[in-house]
Amino acid sequence: MKMFTKNKFLTGFALIVGFCVSQNVRAQEVITIQQAVDNTLKNNLQIKQAQFSAALSEENLSQSKYALYPTVNGSINPNLTFGRGLDQTTFQVTNQTSLYTSGNLSTNIDVFQGFAKINQIRQNKTLLEADKSNIDKVKNDLILQVVTAYLQVLYNTDLARASQDQLDISNKTLIRENALLDAGNKTLADISQAKSQVATAELNLTNAQNQLSVSYLTLGQLMELAPSQKFVVQAPIIDNIQVTPTTNDPDEIFDNAMKIFPDIKLANLRSLAAKQAIDVAKGAYSPRLSLGAGLSSSYSYQFNYAGQFAQQSFTDQINQRFGQSIGMSIQIPIFNGFTARSGVRRAKINYNSTLTQEQLAKNNLNKVIFQATTDLKAAQSRFVSTQNAFNAQKDAFYVVEQRYNVGLVNSLDYSTAQTNRNKAEIDFIQAKYDLLFRAKVIDYYLGKQINF
């Protein structure tokens, strides 16, 4: 009677806690896989960093275009002199204090420089496209990380549920063993075995809950959410997951990925930019032809002027001393410590390096895709095997449980059957989500939208 009252209390307490947890879950935001992806693409700082790099490249492109325009510069140079100096009116050396101010306005334009500026514009356009492609690459990588983290949450959720079910069964077994002990049909050894099962189930549940918390934290960090911001993920309906062999050949997937995958496009653009850098460097071999023009004038004033002529006004001096100039400059590189040759050689080395990196990206993509298709086939086989094993262990446990309830099976055999069923369920849960993930990886390389 005392045991029954205690059980009623525990059941009532569990219902209250369950109701509170249910209310708390309902108060939390429910996030689908698409919302998780959208939040990540909107908030993740890695994307913002990539966007800043693209903005800098865009500014570099604008500046390289502005470099084609003529330069215009003006200057004003006031000078105050003391003591003996040249009288700007009589051009005699006198002892006086004078203010002399000159001003000029000049313009210059490069007519030819080995097309270095044109080639620089072309390279900057390519670098801008590369940075834009890098934004796509960062987004693409993050999408796969979100899918991985999302599925990990789902797996850990099911694992925690299975662990809770195992604990419930163990608690019921312990209650039954205690009742049979009071009736004289069980021994203390049976009670110890039941308590051991409860302790093991509690530990498994604690570990599962900790793993679930960590997986939620990882997903939240990808979405740049505050640790205090709670949410739950929406579980897709995958109980009736279809296990069909992939109809996509690895070579077909690779050919498709080569056309759309941002990693390959980024590597290709970087190689192109490195090739264009060679043309930019070769511009240092060419002569530089530039045209220039200028305007200048000056004004002087003597504070203690004692000459025989009156000082001219500001306007008269500016007009009389106004000068114009136009000129052309040709700079021919003859020897500059092999800086031009070294610059071209460095550009060629860098180009060969980017070609190697591009080939490595293609090789890595090919390797990853073939591995992904192999993993998918293995996951399909493992899913079928674990599903069959779980169904078999469920049936076996049901039979043992029925016999245990009528006293035909001892507690050790019952506990063993219970453990085998639990392990088979956990293996099946893991295989189910592993198969789903492997299938989504193939969709990822095919450029398909990932959803459930």
- Alpha-carbon distance of 280 to 302, in angstroms, equals 54
Q: What is the dihedral of CA 173, 179, 182, 187, to 10 degrees?
A: -20
Task: Report CA dihedral (441, 445, 450, 452) to the nearest 10 degrees.
Answer: -40
Q: Which two tokens stand for residue 398?
A: 């049901």
Give the chain's count of helices (H) and strands (E). 10, 8
> Residue 451's CB: how many other CB atoms inside 10 A?
12
Please report whether residue 451 resides in a domain.
Answer: no
Cα(124)–Cα(406) distance, integer angstroms: 82
Here the CATH number for the domain that contains residue 196 is 1.20.1600.10
Q: Which domain holds residue 140?
A: 32-69+114-285+335-446
- Do residues 246 and 118 share a domain? yes
Instruction: Tell me if 124 is assigned to some domain.
Output: yes
C-alpha dist (Å) from residue 37 to 150, 246, 247, 447: 10, 25, 27, 15
Across 82-96, 224-238, 404-418, 426-440, the highest mean pLDDT is recorded for: 426-440
Q: Are residues 138 and 85 in the same domain?
A: no
pLDDT tens digits for 355-364?
999 999 999 9
Same domain flag for 182 and 306: no
Residue 326 lies in a domain: yes
Residue 305 lies in a domain: yes
Separation between Cα atoms, residue 386 and residue 333, nearest integer Å: 76
Task: Give residue 26's pLDDT.
Answer: 47
Q: According to the model, what pLDDT value does residue 215 have?
A: 94
Backbone angles phi, psi at 310, to 5 degrees: -70, 145
**pLDDT averaged over every residue in the chain:** 85
Same domain as 89, residue 37 = no
Is the predicted pLDDT of residue 245 greater than 50, yes or no? no
Mean pLDDT calculated for residue range 102-127: 93
Domain boundary among 304, 332, 360: 332
Same domain for 131 and 257: yes
Does 199 fall in a domain? yes
Same domain, yes or no: 291 and 243: no
If one counts the domains in the chain, the total is 3
| Final residue in a domain of this structure, among 332, 349, 366 | 332
| Whether residue 76 is found in the same domain as residue 159 | no
Same domain, residue pair 263 and 144: yes
- Cβ proximity of 292 and 107 under 8 Å: yes
99/232 same-domain check: no
397 in a structural domain: yes
Task: Tell me which of 33-37, 94-98, 282-286 is least confident.
Answer: 94-98
Tokens 């492109």 sit at which residue? Answer: 61
Exposure class string for 162-179: b at 16+ Cβ within 10 A, else e = bbeebbebbbebbbbbbe
Q: Are residues 293 and 386 in the same domain?
A: no
Three-state secondary-structure class, residue 29? strand
410 in the same domain as 322: no
Position 452 in a domain:
no
Q: For residue 167, what are its two tokens? A: 């604990």
Residue 181: Cβ within 10 Å count: 15
Same domain, 175 and 230: yes
398, pLDDT greater than 80 = yes
Does position 252 have pLDDT exceeding 70, yes or no? yes
Write the CATH number for 108.
2.20.200
Handedness of CA 235, 237, 240, 245 (dihedral sign): negative
% of the chain with per-residue pLDDT over 70: 88
